[in-house]
Every structure is written in C-alpha cells, then in structure tokens.
Structure 1
Amino acid sequence: MTETPLGTVVEIDDRTVLVTGQELDVAREQPDVGHALVHRAGDTLVLVDTGVTEAFRAALKGAVDRVGPWSRLLLLTTHGHTDHVGNNDLVDELAAERGVPAEHWVPARDLEQMAHPVAYWEHAFAGIAGVAPLPAPPSLSAKKIVSLFQPLHPFGATTRTYEERPLERLLLGPARMTGWSFADGAVRVLRSQGHTAGHVVVHLADTGLVHLGDEANGGCGAMPDADQLKLHTVLGAVATAAADGAVTTVTQAHDATVRRGADAVAHLDELLAQGVALQEAALDITAGHEPVAPERFVDDITRRLAEIGGGGPNPNPVFTGMMSVNLLAEIGLRPDRGQDDRPWSRPAQEDPAPVAGMPHGVALLPAAAAMVGWKLRGRDR
C-alpha cells in the first residue's frame, strides 16, 4: 500500500476523491483498511467501499461533501473482505441525516464471507497449516485477525445483491464485459471475480475512471476463492481500454497512486508481467524436484518475490504462503492425500476404471430400494 496517513483525501477531479486507508500490522493490532472512492454522478453520491474502523468512518463521512451537492446515495461494495465492508451501515446513517434515498449493492458470491468472516479466514489459514508459519491453529488465527476489524457492519437496511438486477452487456472501450449500470449509466459495475469469488470493479463512465479494488493487488491472488485467470483477464481488459483511451484514470484499493493514460497502461502491464514471472518461477523451482515439499517451495518463492515483485499490499509470511499454495495449484500440482502440508506432485494420468451399468443379481436389491425412495421423495421430477 502506498504510505499515506489514514483518512487522507486524494483529489482526482472536481467530483471524485479517494480516501486512503492503511496497511495491516498485526503486531500493533492495526487492521488494514482499503481505500474508498467518493464520486458524484449528477445528483447521486457514489461510495465505493467503506473500509473499517471508526477513524476511517469519520474520514469518509467528512469527505462526502468534497465532491459537490447530492440528493441521492449509492454504495457499491467491490468484494466482501473485512477491510472493505466494516462501515457499510454508514449509508443508512447518511441517508437518515440528509433525508435522502439510498441504495447498497454487494456481490452475491461474497455474502457468505461477509456474514461469517471467521469461517472464511479459518478456511484460508487451514490451507497453509504446516506450509507457512501461523501464530496459532487456523481457528484461533482466524478469530485473532477478524477481531482487529471492529466494529464490523457489512449489511445495512438497503443491502441487496447485484445479481438481483438484470445482467447487462457492457463495453469498456474495445472490451466486452457484463455487469450492471447505475445513475443513468454514469456508473457501471463490471464483473471480474479474480481476487474473490464475487469481486467487481467500478467504472465511472462519466469521468473515464476505473476503480480496480483489490484486483490489482499483485500478479497472483492469495485467497482460496481467487481465480488467477479472471484476475489477469480483468487487468488485461482495463489495460486495453486505457491504451484505447476509453479509460483515462485507474485507481485501486491498496495503493493511493492515481494513474492516468500511459502510466496506467504500464502499471497494469507490469502486474500482468508479474503474474507470468511468478508462474515461470514456480515451474523453475519445481522442475525435477517432484514431489515438492511445500514449505521449501514457500522459501524459494519468497526469494523470487523479492526479485519479481507482485507480493501484494501486505507482504508477510502468511500471505506469501497462501499465494504459494495457489501457485502450486496453478501449475497443476496437488497435495498428496489431500493434505496441503504433504508433498505436492502432479496427479497420475491414469485411465478411469470401467464402470458397470445397471446392477444385477443381489446388487439389484439395494438399487431398487434406492429407486423407490427416490420416487417417493419426488426427486425424479
């Protein structure tokens, strides 16, 4: 994350500002806070994410009048991670204070982690138990990390999912994408789903800005629900649109730099190059060394990350371990017997065993009973 004090207001244009968050520091019990975008589209105030902590809430609330007068309120959540959704009920507070209508939209595929963040992080940490150093078992580590992100109010009175709206075909310059439009088309939400299963990016069509959220966190996603192909696809689409001139400005959630024109294209190309270099490094490290000891792979990839970059906004052994597991899976390796801390190797390429058709003889009796039960439950409809 670009170092700026929490709550710094970065002016982008006369109706758009970025309110900056902060980096994660577990030792100091400091949560990371994603940057939030504030924009006015006509008479609509658009908030993109709300961060977390009371201090950031106050800063965000103080920035809403920096972009001109408004009489409607629209909150768009890019994804469900705790550092982006903690103050989502701010939309209700502002609407009540100003007496204005409000909307809040979130990705449907991230609802589960928003409601149950400890379970989400426990799953993430379980994937690296024995691979990277965890300060405590996954369940305790998850509770510790989520405890930093308080108060946590991801849902408000007007919260609904994007997917409740009809899906639209949208153009981002030469790129064909899908998503949803708001504020008479001045604001568009584009499905990306790289950093998390539900992640979206926001296009302010009236100013030519794309806010990437956490899709620009590095060349390889770290979370278990990350999709490397989708992550690289959206970065490529935005880079193409920026080179075409359809996108003029690019911002992201853990870097306060506002990139324009050729600088934006170069930055996105660098992220894509990092993704390619990380996979090349993974192949080089594992070549001739199968089965691969995951803890040794983490040590090797950590050294390569120092050369390549692309380690994300909060580089630390835990996130590097999560990224390493994803890299191993991306090049086709799998843990032996399903345990992530076991050696990883490429699955055997064996033809499947022959499968018998309908059972005969004695085996017919349990099959017949199963069929009767299936029909009685009405499952054959």
Structure 2
Amino acid sequence: MTALGDLIEIDDRTVLVLGQELDVEHGRPDVGNALVHRAGDTVVFVDTGVTTVFRAALRAAADRVGPWSRALVLTTHGHVDHIGNNDLADELGVPVEHYVPAGDVDQMRDPQSYWVRAFERIAALGAMPAPPAPAARMLMSLFEPMRPFAETTRTYEELPLERVRIGSVRFTGWTFADGAVRVLRSQGHCAGHVIVHLSDCGVLHLSDEGNGACGAMADADQLKIQTVLGAVARLFEEEQAALLTDGHTFALRRGSEAVSFLDGLLDQATALQTAALGLTGEGGTVRPSAFAPRYAEAFAALGAGGANPNAMFAAMMAVNQLRELGLRPESEAVDAPWARPAFSHTAPAAQTFPA
C-alpha cells in the first residue's frame, strides 16, 4: 500500500516520489508523481505535485540523490496536480532554472477557467456534482497551496528548438545537463505537454500521456497521445530506454513490460473507438446524454484504465470520443445531437479569377 510522498529509489541518484489518486468526496486532491534525479552536479525535479506533504518529500528525495550545486525544475504540463510546489525552485539556495510549456501558461495562471471550460462540455450529461463554475471552484479548492511559478520561471519555447534523435526515433524538444536530460514535445494529454528522458539512467517519464486510451481534457489531442505511445514503445524495443514511469500509476515498468503496457493502451484506443462507432447508430447521430453512459459501460467492459476513474472524467472522454469519430454538435443547445457533417452532392458553382 503506497502513501502520498513515498520514495521509490530507482538508483543512487534517481528517486520517484509517489502521488495519490483524486477523491473528491473526501476532499483529497490527486497528486502527480514526480522524479528527482542528479545529473552531474545538477539536481533535476520533474514536476512538483501539490500539498506541503509532497513538498517535504521532494526535499527528502533531493537530499537522497546529492550532492548537487545547481538545480533544474521541469514542468511536464500545467495541470494543478503537477505544479503546486513549483516555487520550491526559489528555496534551493543554488543557481536554478525552471521551465514550463508555453501552451499551458494560461491554464497555470487561471486553472479555474480551464476547468469551467472542461465541465461546461459535460453539463448536460448528469456527471457533475454542481454546475460548471461552482464545481470548478470546489475542485480547485482541494489543490492548496498552489504556487505554479518561481522567480526564474521561463517557457521551454524561449530556448532554441532542437531535433532530438534517440535511436531510430526523432523528436523535437530541448536538452539540458550536457544532453543527459531530454525534454520531448508530445502535446497529447493537453496543449503543452512534454515527456522527459533521463539518458544517463535510462528512465523515460511519460507523465500523463499514459493516463488512458482516450484523453479527457478539452485540449487533448488523441492522435498525439497515440503517436507518442508508439514512439516510446519503439525506444524500449531498441533498448534506448530501460524504465518507464508516469504521472499516476505508481509503478515502475522495465523493458518488455513497458512495451506491453504501451501496446495495451494503443489496443484499448482502437477498441474504444470501434465500440463508440457502434454506439452512434447507422445514421451517425446521437445525443451526448444517451451516448455517455453507454460509452462508460463499453469502457468498463473493455477493462480500459486511466488515472482518477470517476463519472466526470468518463463523460469528458465520451465527448472527446464523439469528436474523434468526426461528429459535431448540430447547435449550441444543451445536449444538442451530434452528427457527421453533411456533404453536398451538387457541383460547386464555377469560380472565376482575375487574370
């Protein structure tokens, strides 16, 4: 049984700090796992979670991997369960750099608006404990203290973009600590998401790209999720990575076990989309309120997993799955039917262009 802030020693300079699952009913925030690693004389924090308990665990992990005289704080994405202790960078007493994805800065500044948008998409689906704005306020109240920025915070995108080749796989991103730390753009789970490869110890931190077969957030990109899962699987097959960690499953996966886990997520993605296609009917028109519970049943029947399983996230995934099938809402009305776009079978009018 794991507890918030437990430390798993990967090697003498790398520690995984364990978070916890979301439990809204009992007022407990989810906390994303973090990595603490020493590359030469630099201590590297990959995410900082949230809560004072987790903050203390990060400091304990940093003490365990030392000695170090510089620090690098890397934010994988802007969700509140990963950024609450980012100002730890100001307390380390050494030269420090802190980087965040530019695509997530707006939600880091105003997370409540980000979650209102997420909840507005499912307001008609019966999965909400309250209307979107109060529900978002209630959820955000769990994540305290929330300090997402430090004095040194910059965006990755202020640095020159690099082409990063690992084995046969090519990424774009940024390298640090003489190439020992590779930040790779993925942008599937949310708009700015990155993953991190620690080449000197073989750890690949997937963060939340492995949260499930279908992304839940409004800014999730299903193709990018699936693409990065496939690319990371290739790294393990080529032995360019040895150990897979992520943001929420509290597990270490090595070699072929990591490949099986990633392939399983891809298999779930295809199976879920096939099941969703069958739920839309022959006409391809469906109301979200009718689709969402049936989709949740299909999700459970397939044994599909993901972080923080609950009715809200299942409904958010259902809406994303409708869009992934190519359906669009027919109007802005609450619970408007979703349908495929109509195609005209008449030839377009001839157009003339100036000579």
TM-score (ref. length: structure 1): 0.89
List per-residue Cα deviations over 1:17-40 (Å, max 9, x = no partner). 100011101111110000010000
- Residues of 1 paired with 2:332 and 2:167: CA distance? 43
The 2-side partners of 1:234 and 1:104 are apart by 24
One-letter amino acid matched to 2:77: H
Specify the SS of the correspondent of 2:240. coil
| Structure 2 counterpart of 1:251 | 245
Residue 73 of structure 2 is aligned to residue 72 of structure 1? no
Unaligned runs of 5+ in 1: 359-381
Distance 1:209 1:281 in 2: 34
In the TM superposition, residue 339 of structure 1 has moved relative to its aligned partner by: 3.9
Aligned position for 2:319: 325
* Closer, same or farther: CA 346–29 of 1 in aligned 2, 3 Å: same
Q: CA deviation at 1:132?
A: 3.7
| CA spacing shift, 1:340–1:252, aligned 2, 3 Å | farther
Counterpart of 1:288 in structure 2 is 282
Distance 2:284 2:68 in 1: 60
Match of 2:49 among 48, 51, 66: 51
SS of residue matched to 1:342: coil
The structure 1 residue matched to 2:87, chosen from 80, 86, 89, is 89
Matches within 5 A, 1:86-165: 86-95=84-93, 100-165=94-159
One-letter identity of the residue aligned with 1:182: F
- Give structure 2 stretches of 5+ with no counterpart: none
Aligned counterparts of 1:131 and 1:357: Cα–Cα separation in 2: 48
Asked whether 1:177 is paired with 2:175, we answer no
SS of the equivalent of 1:189 reads strand
Matched, 1:39 2:37: yes
Tell me the CA shift for residue 134 of structure 1.
1.1
Moved more, 103-112 or 290-299: 290-299
Instruction: Give the count of matched residue pairs.
Output: 352
Distance in 2 (CA, whole Å) between partners of 1:328 and 1:248 is 36
- Distance in 1 (alpha carbons) for counterparts of 2:347 and 2:22: 47
State the Cα distance separating 1:131 from its structure 2 match. 2.0
Out of 14, 22, 26, which is 1:28 matched to? 26
State the Cα distance separating 1:287 from its structure 2 match.
2.9
Matches within 5 A, 1:178-193: 178-193=172-187
Q: Which amino acid aligns with 2:306?
A: G
Mark the CA change 1:242 to 1:134 in structure 2 (over 3 Å): closer, same or farther. same
Secondary structure of the equivalent of 1:65? helix
Measured against aligned partners, the alpha-carbon deviations of 1:69-100 in whole angstroms (never above 9, x if no partner) come to 111000000000000000000111123xxxx1
Deviations 1:169-208 (A, max 9, x none): 0012211110000001000100000000000000001111
CA distance in 2: counterparts of 1:310 and 1:144, whole angstroms: 28
Alignment partners' CA distance in 1, 2:334 and 2:158: 37
What SS does the corresponding residue of 1:139 show, helix, strand or coil?
helix
TM-fit CA distance, 1:312: 1.6
User: In the alignment, which of 3, 18, 27 is matched to residue 5 of structure 1?
Assistant: 3
Name the counterpart of 1:369: none
1:291: how far off? 2.1
Q: 203-212 or 282-291, which moves further after superposition?
A: 282-291
Question: Which segments of structure 1 move beyond 2 Å, counting only runs of 4 or more?
Answer: 350-358
SS of corresponding position for 2:184: strand
Query: Of residues 269, 291, 298 in structure 2, which corresponds to 1:297?
Result: 291
- In structure 1, what is the Cα distance between the partners aligned to 2:215 and 2:166? 23
1:228-282 per-residue CA deviation (whole Å, 9 max, x = no partner) reads 0001111100001100111111100101111111111111111111111111111
Deviation, 1:309, is 3.0
Matched residue SS, 1:338 = coil
Q: 1:344 Cα shift?
A: 1.1
SS in 1 for 2:36: strand
Q: Deviations over 1:309-355 (max 9, x none)?
A: 33421111100000000000001111111346211111111379759
Deviates more, 1:334-343 or 1:138-147: 334-343
Q: Is the 8 A contact 1:6 1:22 kept in 2?
A: yes
Q: For residue 186 of structure 2, what is the amino acid of its counterpart?
A: S
Corresponding position of 2:197: 203
Assess, with a 3 A threshold, how the Cα gap between structure 1 residues 355 and 193 changes in structure 2: closer, same or farther: farther
For 2:86, the aligned partner's letter is N
- Gap change, CA 1:82 and 1:267, over 3 Å in 2: same
* CA root-mean-square deviation: 1.6
Report the identity percentage: 58
